[in-house]
Amino acid sequence: MVLNIVVHELLHMGFGQYIEPVDFSKIETSEQTADLITTSLQNEGMATYVAYRARSIFPSSTVDPDYTMLEKRADVLRLGEKMNHLLELSRTEPFEEIRDTIWQEGVMTRAYYVVGAHMAGRIEEARGREEVVETIVKGSRCFVETYNDLPSEGFKIMI
């Protein structure tokens, strides 16, 4: 499991080569809040997806709870609703008012990780690995739009 976690963290290192770190003190607009949410969704989701796929290389008897949720459609749909709720809040509430909610729903309930991994998997399955990787270079809006362009599986991300 440790090696699997290393794979997850290495993806973050690569992702960080293309994405500017967010300065939370400079988030002033709803667009900046939405960008933070979608970037976190893509970053954590891609890292989770790559580590999930690496289980064949680094098998473990310990099962990451994110992987269990990723394999359950009901969990993916429930967490997809949380992602859309965060994006809806970003349109109407100042960042400082929803900062704790973003942390709770995105990180603590694992919505970023599970929904983003689901999205990455669907993109790779439908369009190929090159296209899912290309979304890193093009940004989180491209990641969401590419996913949303696929045939629906019960939800879209409402950016």
Provide the 8-state DSSP code for 18.
T
Instruction: Quote the pTM value.
Output: 0.94
State the CB neighbour count (10 A cutoff) for residue 46: 26
The span from the CA of 112 to the CA of 120, in Å, is 12
pLDDT in tens, the chain (159 residues): 899 899 999 999 988 888 887 888 899 999 999 999 999 999 999 999 999 999 999 888 888 999 999 999 999 999 999 999 999 999 999 999 999 999 999 999 999 999 999 999 999 999 999 999 999 999 999 999 999 999 987 789 998
Note whether 109 and 68 are within 8 A (CB). Answer: no
State the pLDDT at residue 4. Answer: 86
Segments making up each domain of the chain, as ranges: 2-14+33-148
Provide the 8-state DSSP code for 29.
S
The span from the CA of 121 to the CA of 45, in Å, is 9
Note whether 116 and 46 are within 8 A (CB). Answer: yes
The span from the CA of 102 to the CA of 45, in Å, is 15
Place of tokens 């603590």: 108
